[in-house]
Amino acid sequence: MSVFRKRSHSNKPLAEINVTPLVDVMLVLLIIFMVTAPMLSMGIDVNLPRVKAKSVDVAEEKLVLTINDSKEIFLNKTKMQLGELNSKLEAIFSNRIDREIFLRADKNVPYGFVVEVMSEVRKAGVDKLGMITEPPEEQK
């Protein structure tokens, strides 16, 4: 019996792609994203005013400034004081072209305090300030 076997094909590289490891990695990533996605939408609890307004599509991550009923200010989820808001926004918007921020204020916050916060935002050089509200409840 011969120790050397004759190959039926030449020394060409194997052209088949093994997709099993790719499928395994993709399934693990899918499970991770399914578990973490609900946690990303959690935020500060605010009782928003209800008004009719046109909805805005938010395609990318936007800055959201939140004022709760205790007059606490949050930039996205980071708590800060009114005095440090201006410098923080200036630092954030120094590298951005789109100078836009959304404001969520609890309906029980005094109007004067909301205007103070808006003034600080404008001083920081923000071009667009959007107000976030909830749609009115349907009358039955």
Residue 67 lies in a domain: yes
Task: Give the residue numbers spanning the domain of 88.
Answer: 63-131
Q: Tell me how far CA of residue 124 lies from CA of 48, 93, 104, in angstroms.
A: 25, 8, 18
The reply to whether 45 falls in a domain is no
Q: Count of domains in the chain?
A: 1
With respect to residue 92, please indicate whether it lies within any of the assigned structural domains: yes
Please report whether residue 15 resides in a domain. no
How much is the pLDDT for 59?
45
So what's the pLDDT on residue 35? 84
User: Global pTM?
Assistant: 0.55
Whether residue 43 is contained in a domain is answered as no
Domain membership of residue 1 (yes or no) is no
Is 17 inside a domain boundary? no
| Rg of the Cα atoms in the chain | 27
Largest CA distance in the chain: 97
Q: Out of 73-77, 89-93, 135-139, pick the least confident.
A: 135-139
Q: Specify which residues 66 forms β-bridges with.
A: 74, 104
In a domain, 23, yes or no: no
